[in-house]
Amino acid sequence: MVAFALASMLGGCNSKQEAALTSGIDLANLDTTAVCGTDFYQFACGGWRKNHPLTDEYPQYGSFNALAENNNQQLKDLITGLADKPHSAGSVDQKIGDLYAIAMDSVKLNQDGAQPILPLLKRIAGMKTQQDVLPMMADLVNEGVSSYFGFGVAADEKNSTMNIFQLGQGGLGLGEREYYLADDEATRKIREEYQQHLVNLFQLVGDDEATATRKMQAILEIETAIAKASYSKEQLRDPEANYHKMSLDEWKKLTPDMDWDTYLSAIGAKGVNELIVGQIEPLQEVNRLLKTLPVEKQVAYLQSRVIRNAASYLSDDFRAEMFRFTGQVMSGAKEDRPRWKRAVANVNGVLGEAVGQMYVQKYFPAEAKERMTKLVKNLQTALGERIANLEWMGDSTKQKALAKLNAFTVKVGYPDKWKDYSTLEIKDDSYWNNMVRASRWQLADEMSRIGQPVDRSEWFMTPQTVNAYYNPTTNEICFPAGILQPPFFDMNADDAFNYGAIGVVIGHEMTHGFDDQGRQYDKDGNLKDWWTAEDAENFKQRAQVIIDFFNDIEVLPGLHANGVITQGENIADHGGLKISFQAFQAATKDQPLPVKDGFTPEQRFFLAYSNVWAANTREEMIRMLTRVDVHSLAEWRVNGALPHISEWYEAFHIQPTDSLYLAPEKRLSIW
């Protein structure tokens, strides 16, 4: 009996039906002239990469994008089906249809120009003293614009069943502190372009060049100061170092020049007696800036926050400038996404679960949910066996690890309970005004959770998303309907394919519960050390192997991967491969699969895995991802991950003379 639930669709499983399943591998994806042991990525994905050259729209295009494009078309059909018809006012169909329609209305957008944000910019310009700045920041929060720092309501990491108000670093137009601080040529160029970008935007709202330039200089001064005080991506990986719970009174003493009572009340945060501050120093730097910087400089900064937030919802000249900088300069795209794709993405962002509900009704087969649930069980069993057999971990830690594994909540396809959008208003005044109302709706929803229990049935991704996640505070793994399609999941393909593709994704998400960050949370989702000192030390030593390995990878001449920030994802890829391969072998033990399309089942497992990462990427995008992304680049999720998997060596007869070969003692071995 093949344990993977393809049987449920076929009404029983015997060898004849098993043989009727395809390999799932598209041979056109391969480049069989490449040598497996030299460049397995090229061998597995070379054909795909040649057949999918980058179009001007994409800074990176891979299997994920291809599937997302397909989903996008389906979503567009669903949404335009609503936009074309009248609906009763206030119905969710009206909201989806009207939001899409106003996003598509280029005539109105271009007529309105900067008009929708001018009153707000004027209000900011009216600030007289430094004391006006914090109340104005709260005002802007109600307009959907954050500044200087970030905030939110989420589970208390040390009391994971309860929500609590949280503050953290933020406020950087370029997102990452390194963009302000690094001194390499590529980063310097981005900074220069950012300056021009700010000048251009201010000119679009009517400032002359001299004023725009002065404002740009003030913004750079403020953001660079915040960047200097901000934590690095490496520092952000340590959950303990980013957890500071205190009373509101204590917090007021640490930031004495900020009137928190006024701020919290203005953003609707009620009953905040205690809070968690992720990063204290950057907020203290903000305290200093608010107090010492001339108010004109702060006007410039706050205005830039509004303009950049709104630009994509204003006339085409604003959008073109946003794309020129964030699309072309930062990631290397040559041409903006068509308006309809941006509109679909935005409707997805604002009314995601309402769209998702239509999507799963039409496109998600009920069998898929059942079969995924069984597949997850098999992976869970395999990981349990692996934990029980670990030679580097002691019994008491093992017991707690197994308890955590058994406590996983598994979410598949779509939520049991859908979000209620009845109080969200979508009108025909302006695109930007609708976005402001959506932000307010979101803000009120978030603030209503302060001090309330965590709703564990809630989803952190919409069902139509092509992705999956693990969330440590709820100890849950989630696989939205959007990813449960080829090349991840194929009802017509055999186990070798499905374990190699979606099976590894499942194992990957499970392993996040046990990566450098996830392992610090217990089975109830609390940040709590459940490891013996010796086992924790063993883990760190082993993780160092993959940190060092990725630090050595040169992704472009002179540019190295960041082994520290990618370690969690690399450990998860590694764990996913090991766990899923073991589950695959257990599932096919009694009825081994035949050779199909010239490849053994073991070979097909690794080809299916690799094809998930087929992609072409522009140089600018490689630079950006290497700086900001905790995932390794697509190429290295294959050529960096597989050399640590002994089963891959056996499947493809990789030899010590091959350049991808790693001696067994140099391979990662954790889960």
Pick the closest to residue 410 from 370, 449, 383 (CA basis): 370
Q: Kindly tell me which of 286 and 615 has the beta carbon lying closer to Zn ion.
A: 615
CB of 625 to Zn ion, least distance (A): 14
CB of 670 to Zn ion, least distance (A): 15
Angstrom distance (rounded) from CA 488 to CA 374? 16
Q: Kindly tell me which of 158 and 512 has the beta carbon lying closer to Zn ion.
A: 512
Angstrom distance (rounded) from CA 37 to CA 2? 31
CB of 573 to Zn ion, least distance (A): 8
Q: Which residues pair with 433 in a beta bridge?
A: none
Separation in Å, CA 109 to CA 44, 118, 202, 592: 46, 14, 18, 61
Q: Kindly tell me which of 166 and 632 has the beta carbon lying closer to Zn ion.
A: 632
CB of 504 to Zn ion, least distance (A): 11
CB of 569 to Zn ion, least distance (A): 5
CB of 19 to Zn ion, least distance (A): 34
Q: Kindly tell me which of 612 and 654 has the beta carbon lying closer to Zn ion.
A: 612
CB of 501 to Zn ion, least distance (A): 15
DSSP 11-56: TS--HHHHHHSB----GGG--TTS-TTT-HHHHHHHHHHHHSPPPT
Q: Kindly tell me which of 78 and 572 has the beta carbon lying closer to Zn ion.
A: 572
CB of 479 to Zn ion, least distance (A): 12
Residues sharing a CB contact under 8 Å with residue 285, sequence separation 6 or more, in sequence order:
225, 226, 228, 229
Residue type, 222: I
Q: How many residues bind Zn ion (CB under 5 A)?
A: 2
CB of 512 to Zn ion, least distance (A): 6
- Binders of Zn ion among 559-588, rule CB under 5 A? 569, 572
Helix, strand or coil, per DSSP, at residue 160: strand
Whether the CB-CB separation of 38 and 659 falls below 8 Å is answered with: yes
CB of 602 to Zn ion, least distance (A): 24
How far does Cα 217 stand from its chain's mean position?
32
Q: Kindly tell me which of 546 and 572 has the beta carbon lying closer to Zn ion.
A: 572
Q: What's phi and psi for 453, nearest 5 deg?
A: -65, 150
Angstrom distance (rounded) from CA 480 to CA 493? 20
Q: Kindly tell me which of 18 and 569 has the beta carbon lying closer to Zn ion.
A: 569
Q: Kindly tell me which of 227 and 468 has the beta carbon lying closer to Zn ion.
A: 468
Pick the closest to residue 648 from 661, 635, 665 (CA basis): 661
Contacts 24+ apart (CB under 8 A), 148-156: 148/226, 148/286, 148/289, 148/290, 149/282, 149/283, 149/286, 151/267, 152/446, 153/269, 153/446, 153/447, 153/449, 153/450, 154/473, 155/454, 155/473, 155/474, 155/525, 156/245, 156/276
Give the sign of the dihedral formed by CA 212, CA 218, CA 219, CA 220. Answer: positive
CB of 408 to Zn ion, least distance (A): 15
Q: Kindly tell me which of 535 and 569 has the beta carbon lying closer to Zn ion.
A: 569
Q: Kindly tell me which of 300 and 412 has the beta carbon lying closer to Zn ion.
A: 412
CB of 493 to Zn ion, least distance (A): 23
The binding track of 591-620 with respect to Zn ion, each residue x by CB under 5 A or -, is: ------------------------------
Pick the closest to residue 625 from 551, 576, 559 (CA basis): 559
Query: Six-digit token pair at 121?
Result: 């910019």
Helix, strand or coil, per DSSP, at residue 206: coil
Whether the CB-CB separation of 297 and 288 falls below 8 Å is answered with: no
Q: Kindly tell me which of 218 and 478 has the beta carbon lying closer to Zn ion.
A: 478
Separation in Å, CA 106 to CA 84, 103, 112, 336: 17, 8, 10, 15
Angstrom distance (rounded) from CA 399 to CA 393? 10
Nearest-5° Cα angle at 16, 14 to 22 = 110
Q: Kindly tell me which of 223 and 509 has the beta carbon lying closer to Zn ion.
A: 509
* Sites of contact with Zn ion (CB under 5 A): 569, 572
